[in-house]
Amino acid sequence: MHAVGLITEYNPLHNGHRYHLETAKRLTDADCTVVVMSGNWLQRGEPAILDKWTRAKLALQAGADLVVELPVFYATQPAHLFARGGVELLSALGVAQLVFGAEHPELDFGRLATALAGASGDFSHYNATYATQFNAALKAATGVTLTHANDMLGFCYYVANHHLAHPMQLLPIKRQRVAHGEEKIADSHFASGTAVRAAAFKRDWVAIEPVVPASTLIQLQTQRLQCWDDFWPFLQYQLLTVNVAQSGQYDQMAEGLEYRMREKAQTATSFTDFLHQVKSKRYTYTRLQRVATAALLQLTQREVQTAQAHNYVRLLGFNATGQAYLHQVKKDLPVPLYTKINKDLRLHGLNLDYRAGRVYQLVNGASQDLYRQPWRL
């Protein structure tokens, strides 16, 4: 059996994601589709609208054969680390091809990645965001800038893939009609995740129904939907009570930001208000959300970097095809395979994911890790 891989969030799974799955299978004629999916905390530094178990089941129902979790120490990182974590897992699982969506699939991502590899710069100047500095370096090296989210992520997949001992074949496909982050549902079949989430919080099921699979609509209508405002009281408590010497150690915290965040937590009335008060030219809202996630989960830079050196496969679900493929590759897995969290793993090997799940569970109410078994469809 040979497999095609996808790196996803499914927040929530919509028709564009289903198109991605179907196209990946058609392009590669793969026997098995392996999905690496973020858990309950996402790359933009926010909680998933539906928990990881619900989203994994939706992925299987939409055509995935095997779903594994991208650990929180990669899932909540900037694009280059998010991509590295996902690519590492697909490679560990013996996947031959990675298919991803891009705004401009015609770009020669491989050439861009090779060209920037020789560029210098640490992108740490105080007068611009990381993205601005990165694109300045890319333009200087190649004459190209990447201003669209999925183009940038695709570029990062190529960089991560380049460092593998046995690189995969990477296949970009065109995103369908709707721009990433489009805030309104204006198409009869496709919508961005942003627009679907906004409509779901308004319970506008008529608008959502044409742009998501029926199984997604049912879950949105019946499950507890999470957003940052649900977790704001917990974050505010953390920022007001934890010593700044400790909060300064949180992952992606830098340049005295811990003092600014603690000060603004004194007066902020909501998470959105807090972000507006903390925002400066140096930091994007996404960066601030990722730092807020690290603060909420008390993820330190040291433990995140240590965990990134010890990646693992956490199984969330599979069907008969996925089970057969897993049986084929598991004897050669270069990383540990976990099918459930017991009391020992929650304290050691899976500590960070267990911590992230327990915090999410404070709002969601459903057990996220301890003794949960993968879905078998």
348 is in an annotated binding site: no
7 is in an annotated binding site: yes
18 is in an annotated binding site: yes
Using CA atoms, how far apart are residues 85 and 38, in angstroms rounded to an integer? 10
Same domain, 295 and 328: no
Residue 126 pLDDT greater than 50, yes or no: no
15 is in an annotated binding site: yes
Picking from 305, 326, 347, the residue at the C-terminal end of a domain is: 305
12 is in an annotated binding site: yes
88 is in an annotated binding site: no
Same domain, 188 and 289: no
Same domain, 177 and 290: no
Same domain, 129 and 192: yes
49 is in an annotated binding site: no
pLDDT attached to residue 130: 59
Which among 73, 77, 355, 359 is positioned nearest to 230, based on CA atoms?
Answer: 359
Domain count, the chain: 2
Using CA atoms, how far apart are residues 308 and 251, in angstroms rounded to an integer? 12
Q: What would the pLDDT profile of 138-186 be if each residue is shown by its tens digit?
A: 777 777 778 788 888 999 999 999 999 999 999 999 876 555 556 788 7
pLDDT attached to residue 326: 97
pLDDT attached to residue 66: 98
Residue 119 pLDDT greater than 60, yes or no: no
Range of the domain at 250: 228-305
* Higher-confidence position of 81 and 141: 81
154 is in an annotated binding site: no
Query: Tell me, what CATH number does 73's domain have?
Result: 3.40.50.620
Q: Is 138 exposed, middle or buried (0-12, 13-18, 19+ CB in 10 A)?
A: buried
Peptide bond into 12 cis (omega under 30): yes
19 is in an annotated binding site: yes
17 is in an annotated binding site: yes
Q: What would the pLDDT profile of 215-267 be if each residue is shown by its tens digit?
A: 999 999 999 999 999 999 999 999 999 999 999 999 999 889 999 999 999 99
Picking from 288, 305, 322, the residue at the C-terminal end of a domain is: 305
Contact between 252 and 294 (Cβ < 8 Å): yes
125 is in an annotated binding site: no
**DSSP bridge pairs for 32:** 3
Same domain, 282 and 145: no
Same domain, 144 and 292: no
Predicted confidence band of residue 89 (pLDDT cuts 50, 70, 90): very high
